[in-house]
Amino acid sequence: MNRMKKALTALFAGVTLAAATAGPLVSAQETAKLGANYELTGGAASYGTPMSNATKLAVKQANEAGGVLDGVQLELVEYDNKSDLTETNSVATRLVEEGVVGVVGPATTGDVLSQAPVINKAGVPAIAPAATGDALSIDNNGNLMEYLFRVCFEDTFQGRAAAAHIADNMGIKNVALVVDVGLDYSQGVADAFTEEFESRGGSVVTTESFTSGDTDFSAILSTLAAQEFDALYVPAYYTEVGLFIKQAREMGITQPIIGADGLHSQTLVDLAGAENASDIYYTTHYSNESEDEKVVAFQEAYEAEYGQEPDTFAALAYDATNLMIDAINRAGSTERDAIRQAIAETKDFEGVTGLFTMGEDNTPIKSAIMLKLTNGEVESAEAIAVEY
């Protein structure tokens, strides 16, 4: 072990971009640098900030437990990408140049794709916590970007899982679909949902649409109120869907309203009003209602550190960071290629967002969780899955 550390320390002595690309990974002080590329300001800061918190917590816990590789302390190197694609790319380059062994983040699919060419060219493994875009790790030529991983399911999966669940377990036969045409995310989840729902005998009786930023849904709701359906499926973001729920309930539309992980925010309930937020369902990655020992321990540690409950983005970042730490230990090295290989070979990783094995496309094979809200509170959290 000591001989390996001395060799890596010697590599660190002459840090250049070329050398950083090759992997000068452990400092003379026997620390290994772990990079974090998060949206700490800008439009996606509400996702990046809790992710940053959770990553810091995971690194702190690892160091308090003795670090990695029998005593190597982790040094977190974090920069704010400002929710900007160009800045995200620049941050990735800076992290590579500083010799990080791996990168956690960014939050959004767009930012992850902006970072991907940098980390893939440099051979630095990166784990995206919450980028759910389909085929994230496949480049324009159809090739796997082998250094890019994630710990969340993709959009197509959650649309299919929701369709299977409501058709088979909730007895819903007819759905009204409402899509945000300004979001690829919304359309992608809706398409996957429709294909799976119809394959199980369900019917999408009508499709309505709005655009991101809309606040008045009265025209759509008036049209829907005149039609017969068992439930509404609205795979969009909480900023619009919160107001949609409020206006739907005030108009007397009482059917279940179902969505995807874009609804997982307290702001959804704040906008809808707790009195309107009943019979609301959405697929997500994590629930604070779980009694799993790992989840309870994570909640307690996060609340002790930050004075608030962790959200789904914090939970995903916690898993992403701990997977990187676990991979370093399984690799028995801070060499980037060895870590990448260990991440790819991950099997039955027990995270706070569930048990998962890394798939061939560097996306985990895992279940989704269907949350049900009653009066704005989580009434139930049920694991749901569909064949990959």
Please give the model's pTM, rounded to 2 decimal places: 0.84
12-21, 77-86, 246-255, 289-298: least confidently modelled range: 12-21
CATH number at residue 174: 3.40.50.2300
| pLDDT tens string 313-371 | 999 999 999 999 999 999 999 999 999 999 999 999 999 999 999 999 999 999 999 99
pLDDT at 46: 85
> Are 220 and 91 members of one domain?
no
> Are 176 and 114 members of one domain?
no
pLDDT at 183: 87
Q: In whole angstroms, what is the distance from residue 63 CA to residue 325 CA?
A: 10
Sort 182 into a burial class: Cβ within 10 Å, 0-12 / 13-18 / 19+.
Answer: middle
> Are 306 and 234 members of one domain?
no
Contact 167/201 with Cβ under 8 angstroms? yes
Domain assignment of residue 361, yes or no: no
Residue 260 three-state SS = coil
| pLDDT tens string 217-259 | 999 999 999 999 999 999 999 999 999 999 999 999 999 999 9
Q: In whole angstroms, what is the distance from residue 13 CA to residue 100 CA?
A: 14
Domain tally for the chain? 2
Tell me the CA distances in angstroms from 194 to 136, 159, 199, 234, one per residue in order: 22, 8, 8, 12
- For residues 141 and 385, the model is more confident at 141
Structural domain for 130, as ranges: 31-153+290-352
> Are 318 and 249 members of one domain?
no
